């Protein structure tokens, strides 16, 4: 390759290598997840309720404002560190992982990029110390077609009045602040979509019923009801009519977080499968000595490592300021596939025991399924990838 071409090639960030600080951060999160989170996982899953004491500990450890600058009360860390945290927590419990993920990728990301200085000073210190956030885009008739939303925002004097319903909103029960999207002009299509910062305490705002889900049961997923909800004009996020841009860019980063969550889920299930294969004896020896089981564990480990490289590489690209949209879609697509395959095989390795709630792998399998659905279904990721590689 000519030297001139070499000079123009953008520098690629390292793929998997962690700095000493990143490694220490990861070990601290892993220790917390093992010691504080794991003992509560089964009870939270059975009750479908997240332990509020754990939420307080998330804030104390700085896990709810990893990228937020220290001047606003955050940890001043990197996106890569946020991804590490989501992975390590999801390795123990995907419900806890998605709480940290949504806070750091779907809530803080649009704040740091689009919020005014006054909005940052008003909200970010609380978001890093006590307030859980949520991202409210989906509606009953607005899923993959995200901008077919019906929630309406009408300007009346110094306030916007919002009416409509949101569906499938993660963290809704715990959240105090919502990054919520509504249209100021339905006839304008996506150009009418606008982002708002909506406090739970605003008049006319109600959190509806919590969904009874297959997996990530401790994570709340609720309907939001807006009936003449009054939002101050100064709580518009970014520019009026530019909410679609905020939503798309935020979801691009969020997909890396979901990739990290699914990576953690796959790792957790695989580790249990390896341990069980060494302990379980059939025909006078442990099942790990049978080639069929060895090959399954090896295939699982290989796919997990490939998923790890994709997650880490895409996170590094984001931190380096490189274009990562295609890689983010690929990461979410692949990691959700790996999580589903690995957790399913883990259940099979456990045999009949794996099909019972007395053992942990059935929960990993249940938790894996959502990876192909939220923050853009697998088909939507394939569509994005196809458009980008074909230049359409």
Strands (E), the chain: 132-136, 152-156, 159-170, 175-183, 193-199, 205-210, 221-232, 236-237, 281-282, 285-286
Q: Are 161 and 250 in the same domain?
A: no
Q: Is residue 1 part of a domain?
A: no
- Give residue 10's pLDDT: 47
User: What backbone torsions phi and psi does residue 24 show, to the nearest 5 degrees?
Assistant: -65, -45
User: Domain tally for the chain?
Assistant: 3
Alpha-carbon distance 185 to 56, whole Å? 40
Give the pLDDT confidence of 61-75 residue by residue, as tens digits.
Answer: 999 999 999 999 999
Q: Say what the pTM is.
A: 0.94
Would you say residue 391 has pLDDT above 60?
yes
Confidence check: pLDDT of 351 > 70 = yes
Domain membership of residue 2 (yes or no) is no
Write out the catalytic residue numbers.
375
Which phi-psi region, left, alpha or beta, contains residue 245 (left: φ > 0; alpha: ψ -120 to 50)? alpha
Is position 6 within any domain? no
For residue 87, is it within any domain?
yes
Which of 113, 132, 151 delimits the end of a domain?
132
Instruction: Look at residue 231 in the predicted model and tell me its pLDDT.
Output: 98
| Domain identity same for 363 and 249 | yes
Within a domain: 9: no
Residue 54 maps to a domain? yes
CATH number, domain at 73?
1.10.540.10
pLDDT greater than 90 at residue 163: yes
The answer as to whether 189 is a domain residue is yes
Query: Which of 226, 241, 256 is a domain's end point?
Result: 241
Q: Which tokens belong to 390? A: 């074909």
Residues 225 and 251 in one domain: no
Do 211 and 331 have their domain in common? no
Query: Any idea which residue has 């456990």 for tokens?
Result: 350
User: What residue numbers bound the domain in which 212 lies?
Assistant: 135-241
Query: Per-residue confidence at 15, pLDDT binned at 50, 70, 90?
Result: low
What's the rounded Cα separation, in Å, for the pair 196 and 218? Answer: 27
Mean pLDDT of the chain: 95
- Tell whether 283 and 180 lie within a shared domain: no
- Give the CA radius of gyration of the chain: 22
Structure confidence by residue, pLDDT tens digits, 251-300: 999 999 999 999 999 999 999 999 999 999 999 999 999 999 999 999 99
Instruction: Estimate to the nearest angstrom the gap between the alpha carbon of 149 and the chain centroid.
Output: 22
Give the C-alpha separation, 83 to 100, whole Å: 10
The two most distant CA atoms of the chain are separated, in Å, by: 79
Assess whether pLDDT exceeds 50 at residue 121: yes
Query: 103 and 235: one domain?
Result: no
Q: Above 90 in pLDDT, residue 90?
A: yes
* In a shared domain, residues 252 and 385: yes
pLDDT at residue number 361: 98
Query: Are residues 261 and 347 both part of a single domain?
Result: yes
**Does 262 lie in the same domain as 195?**
no
Given a cut of 60, whether residue 2 has pLDDT beyond it is: no
Rounded to 5 degrees, φ, ψ at 238 are: 75, -140
Stretch 312-322: mean pLDDT, rounded?
A: 97
Residue ranges of alpha helices (H) inside 15-78 are 20-32, 41-47, 52-60
Per residue in 182-228, pLDDT (tens digit) is: 999 999 999 999 999 999 999 999 999 999 999 999 999 999 999 99
Do 343 and 257 have their domain in common?
A: yes
Q: Within this chain, do residues 317 and 185 fall inside the same structural domain, yes or no? A: no
8 within a domain of the structure (yes/no): no
**127 and 157 together in one domain:** no
């Amino acid at each position: 390759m000519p030297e001139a071409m070499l000079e123009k090639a953008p520098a690629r960030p390292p793929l998997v290598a962690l700095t000493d600080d990143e490694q220490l951060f990861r070990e601290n999160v892993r220790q917390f997840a093992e010691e504080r989170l794991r003992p509560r996982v089964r009870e939270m899953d059975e009750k479908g309720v997240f332990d509020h004491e754990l939420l307080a500990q998330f804030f104390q450890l700085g896990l709810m404002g990893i990228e937020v600058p220290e001047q606003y009360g955050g940890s001043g860390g990197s996106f890569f560190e946020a991804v590490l945290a989501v992975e390590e927590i999801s390795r123990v419990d995907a419900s806890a992982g998605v709480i940290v993920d949504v806070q750091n990728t779907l809530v803080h990301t649009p704040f740091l990029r689009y919020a005014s200085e006054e909005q940052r000073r008003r909200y970010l210190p609380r978001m890093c110390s006590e307030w859980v956030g949520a991202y409210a885009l989906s509606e009953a008739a607005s899923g993959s077609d995200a901008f077919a939303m019906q929630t309406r925002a009408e300007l009346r004097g110094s306030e916007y009045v919002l009416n409509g319903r949101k569906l499938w909103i993660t963290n809704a029960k715990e959240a105090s602040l919502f990054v919520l999207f509504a249209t100021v002009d339905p006839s304008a299509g996506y150009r009418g979509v606008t982002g708002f910062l909506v406090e739970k305490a605003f008049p006319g705002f109600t959190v509806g019923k919590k969904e009874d889900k297959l997996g990530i049961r401790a994570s709340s997923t609720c309907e939001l009801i807006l009936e003449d909800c009054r939002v101050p004009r100064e709580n518009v996020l970014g520019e009026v009519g530019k909410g679609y841009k905020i939503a798309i860019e935020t979801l691009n980063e969020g997909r890396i977080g979901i990739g990290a969550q699914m990576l953690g889920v796959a790792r957790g299930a695989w580790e249990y499968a390896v341990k069980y294969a060494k302990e379980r004896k059939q025909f006078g020896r442990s099942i790990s000595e049978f080639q069929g089981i060895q090959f399954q564990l090896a295939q699982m480990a290989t796919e997990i490592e490939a998923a790890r490289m994709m997650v880490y590489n895409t996170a590094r690209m984001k931190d380096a300021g490189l274009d990562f949209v295609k890689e983010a879609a690929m990461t979410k697509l692949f990691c959700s596939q790996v999580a589903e395959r690995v957790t399913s095989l883990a259940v099979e390795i456990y045999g009949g025991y794996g099909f019972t709630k007395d053992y942990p792998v059935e929960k990993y399998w249940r938790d894996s399924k959502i990876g192909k659905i939220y923050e853009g279904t697998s088909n939507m990721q394939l569509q994005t990838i196809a458009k980008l590689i074909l230049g359409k």
